[in-house]
A and B are shown apart, each in its own frame.
Chain A
């Protein structure tokens, strides 16, 4: 569910093995887990198709629901990576078979489905007990089709902050208090790069200001509403102001030698956390757990988190109910229940999935949440604030692949010393080829 599936690759190497092939593409295309089925005595088995770790099972939500509704049994089918899960889902949709009763969809894919496959999904806005006003407006709109049908209910979101190391900031002569740090770059991503320049002037040996230029690009881009597509669904990434500005920022960062030249979610990125080779990273809420694990007890008390220059989102998912589900009504009920504020709050407590429901954001368990590893930073407050001011991003069907190619382009400048111009033209050429323009 987490955005780490975004342009990131979870353990790239190993999961590439998984990916190896439509792995799931098809794998699922008709894998064993068909839809749910109705047994005797009105007992219903609902299947839920997810990717990665959604945490419903781990947080005990399925058990709770089964207790509330004794005639329901819930079975979860999980595919490790969205890169495998999504093609499989597409295949099942076009075959109209093998679909689970509830299918999770990642934010990068929801638009494609709402655009081309809307008819295959139930309109969730009409479901009992679902009120669009309960959700963050931008999240609600992302799953909306042209004719105002809503094909998925928001689960979590990924509001971004900046995670930074106080020890390194201190040595470089920068403030370490999170409010002061936040002030350094408040309101403008360019200020984040300015700070980087300051940092590099007096940088502790062997350290860089930020982990990767592509991460910076992703953060800066995400705070814009209009990115790769315009309101009419036209592909405009080549002339998009957001893309241009973010690209230029990334180039400035490379030029200032303030990046660790790392590929996010790569093994060496992990090792960078363990060894403290970079001082800051743009981190959505779901990344905090990852950092804690990778930086480890050795680096406890060093990390803190401050607000990002501008509110931006990275990742998050939706729950959809395919029309082909054999237990549509029960599935809709379950999807609505799983995304209701109380359950979102519980999931936040247990799995740190940040709620997309406005009501859940107001609950004390969320609002006043602190993260111990990050020096008790008030993450509830920091991320809630970011969530509320988020722009309604315009999504397009090929956002993911465009993002991946641009990351590669940035990496080729960063690691291989290509000139920004030639990297840009190579990138656009590749994207054209991929999209078959």
Chain B
């Protein structure tokens, strides 16, 4: 048994067995046994240590991640009220089928996409441009980098509070500034495009600097000779950016797109605090999926519905994740 073990684990036993010096039979036996024990230990170690390494994470994950996920899945098949969360009435897929005809659901879904796009696209484009500029030889570059990262340190609550004041209709600074150009006061919160724009700017403000640094880092790892040969070919700065920088950054760009997509699908704090209510405006003009989930669960007390919405969000993200995966594979192949 022992010897078999040793043979079947040559890589690990080699060290132990190989170093044992020849000696008296008894000692050799002992040494052999010790080596065997050791190798057994190693084998067990090799086999089980991965599980040991992941177990702390999975222990917490099971308790605080998986359990809630499954529980919510179970709850989504029931009619549950916040009045008495333990009393569940089985309704099958009703909560899901009802979503299909639920205009508020579709409204919040489309709001989520619109806000997602108008926050992600300009944000990443600006980050790309800024990273390009920061990549020049530049005085005070560290100052610029740190300054642009400060919004990242600001909490959603603090950021939204100040933006909501700046966007005030009658006495906000933005309308005051526009007023200098003869533009009438805009009811940012009341309008649908304006409110979505306002919420998007909060997201843009918080994340542009962070993404800039990510891009900058990626840009700095683009090999010099690519630029040099492009310069030799007479490419202008802009052409170099377009034909050297951007293609080299493709994986990074794709990644930031996905992370931003996940973030904007789960968008919650900004729209909630912007108007101060989970309805996301008087006619839900900036209610996102996360907000709708919250309204159903904690204002209307329909926990089953809220759970179903949560699972729909989950599904949307999985689809996005799959798309990302496929595109990434494509990219890898084309390289």
Direct A–B contact present (CB less than 8 angstroms): yes
Which of B164, B190, B301 is close to A267, meaning CB atoms less than 8 Å apart? B164
Q: Is the CB of A90 within 8 A of B187?
A: no
- Interface residue SS majority, chain A: helix
Q: Does A22 contact B (CB under 8 A)?
A: yes
Which of A16, A277, A415 is close to B187, meaning CB atoms less than 8 Å apart? A415
The interface on chain A, measured as residues whose beta carbon lies within 8 A of the other chain's beta carbons, has a size of: 42
Q: Is the CB of A21 within 8 A of B83?
A: no
Chain B residues with CB under 8 A of A13: 160-161, 164, 273-276
- A-contact bits for B144-176, CB 8 A (1 contact / 0 none): 000000000000010011001100111100000
Chain B residues with CB under 8 A of A404: 279
Which of B160, B170, B192 is close to A272, meaning CB atoms less than 8 Å apart? B170
Chain B residues with CB under 8 A of A83: 299
Q: Is the CB of B276 within 8 A of A12?
A: yes
Which of A20, A94, A271 is close to B83, meaning CB atoms less than 8 Å apart? A94
Q: Is the CB of B302 within 8 A of A436?
A: yes
CA distance A87 to B301 in the complex (A): 9
- The closest CB in chain B to the CB of A415 belongs to B190
Chain B residues with CB under 8 A of A412: 282-283
Q: Is the CB of A401 within 8 A of B300?
A: yes
Chain B residues with CB under 8 A of A11: 276
Which of A87, A267, A271, A415 is close to B282, meaning CB atoms less than 8 Å apart? A415
Number of A-B contacts (CB under 8 A): 95
Q: What is the CB-to-nearest-CB distance from A184 to chain B, in angstroms, rounded to a whole number?
A: 27
Q: Is the CB of B300 within 8 A of A17?
A: no
Name B163-206 residues within 8 Å CB distance of A.
Answer: 164-165, 168-171, 187, 190-192
Name B269-326 residues within 8 Å CB distance of A.
Answer: 269, 272-279, 282-283, 285, 294, 298-302
Name A106-136 residues within 8 Å CB distance of B.
Answer: none
Q: Does A9 contact B (CB under 8 A)?
A: yes
CA distance A17 to B278 in the complex (A): 10
CA distance A429 to B278 in the complex (A): 18
Which of A25, A271, A430 is close to B298, meaning CB atoms less than 8 Å apart? A25
Q: Is the CB of A94 within 8 A of B164?
A: no
Q: What is the CB-to-nearest-CB distance from A266 to chain B, in angstroms, rounded to a whole number?
A: 7
- The closest CB in chain B to the CB of A9 belongs to B276
Binding site for B on A (CB under 8 A): 9, 11-17, 19-22, 25, 83, 87, 90-91, 94, 261, 266-268, 271-272, 275, 277, 401, 404, 408-409, 411-412, 415-416, 418, 423, 426, 429-430, 433-434, 436
Binding site for A on B (CB under 8 A): 82-86, 102-104, 157, 160-161, 164-165, 168-171, 187, 190-192, 269, 272-279, 282-283, 285, 294, 298-302
